[in-house]
Amino acid sequence: MNDDYLLSVSKQFEYYKMLGDKTISQLSEDQLFWQYNSESNSVAIIVKHLWGNMLSRWTDFLTSDGEKEWRKRDAEFENDIKTKDELLNKWNEGWKCLFDAINPLHEEDLEKIIYIRNQGHTVVEAINRQLAHYSYHVGQIVFQGKMIAGENWTSLSIPKGDSKKFNENKFSKPKSKQHFTDEFLKNNNSK
């Protein structure tokens, strides 16, 4: 059962990465650095924060505290990324670190205790903490992308007005057991 959890979590992380990928691809370089006001974060700043968090949390995941001494969290909120390529490099480096840490895990690892700022978490708790954190920030990225792109936005899920057609298609097929992300990830990988 717990290997099912690990597979499900990995697919959830892949799904949120895909949402970010598809949002970033719809924005120009200038749009990635747009801020609503001085207190808000641009897509680039959110990506930089996720990158810093991911490197800190997932490097030596089972053996060292998730808040690394070398992490400079406050600097993650400084808008010093210069290009879309630099942003994408950080985005992909962070996700690679995450997947390199969770993909080798096995059921027997899930009850191990790891620490984040000296606070003990089971591996399951630590994974759930980061899944919630990353989905929160990816949601911010998607929301900003949708606002910035306006009528040029391409929906990442069921487009407005297409729910009936989408449901008719789903209910026309036999019941099956699969992870809800399988269809989204398959469609993303085929492009």
Percent of the chain with pLDDT over 70: 95
φ and ψ at residue 121, rounded to 5 degrees: -135, 140
For residues 116-141, average pLDDT: 98
Convert the pLDDT of each residue in 21-62 to its tens digit: 999 999 999 999 999 998 999 999 999 999 999 999 999 999
pLDDT-derived band at 167, boundaries 50, 70, 90: confident
User: What percent of the chain lies above the pLDDT cut of 90?
Assistant: 79
Residue 181 has pLDDT above 90, yes or no: no
**89-98 pLDDT per residue, tens:** 999 999 999 9
Which residue do the tokens 């995450």 mark? 98
Whether the pLDDT of residue 145 is over 50: the answer is yes
2-157: which CATH number, 3.40.50.2300, 1.10.10.10, 1.10.3720.10, 1.20.120.450?
1.20.120.450
CA atoms of 141 and 127, how far apart (whole Å): 21
Decide if pLDDT at 191 tops 50. no
Residue-wise DSSP of the chain: -HHHHHHHHHHHHHHHHHHHHHHHHTS-HHHHT--SSTTS--HHHHHHHHHHHHHHHHTTTTTS-SS-TT--GGGGGS----SHHHHHHHHHHHHHHHHHHHTT--GGGTT-EEEETTEEEEHHHHHHHHHHHHHHHHHHHHHHHHHHHGGGPPPSSS-TT-HHHHHHHHHTSPP----THHHHHHHHHT-
Say if CB 114 and CB 127 are below 8 A apart: no
Q: For 60-89, how does the pLDDT look when each residue is reduced to its tens digit (9 = 90+)?
A: 999 999 999 999 999 999 989 999 999 999
Domains of the chain by residue range = 2-157
- Residue 190, pLDDT > 60, answer no
Q: Nearest-CA neighbor of 2 among 111, 158, 142, 120? A: 111
Q: Please check the confidence at residue 18 and state whether its pLDDT lies above 80.
A: yes
**Quick one: pLDDT at residue 161?**
87
pLDDT at position 24 is: 98
Beta bridge partners of 113: 122
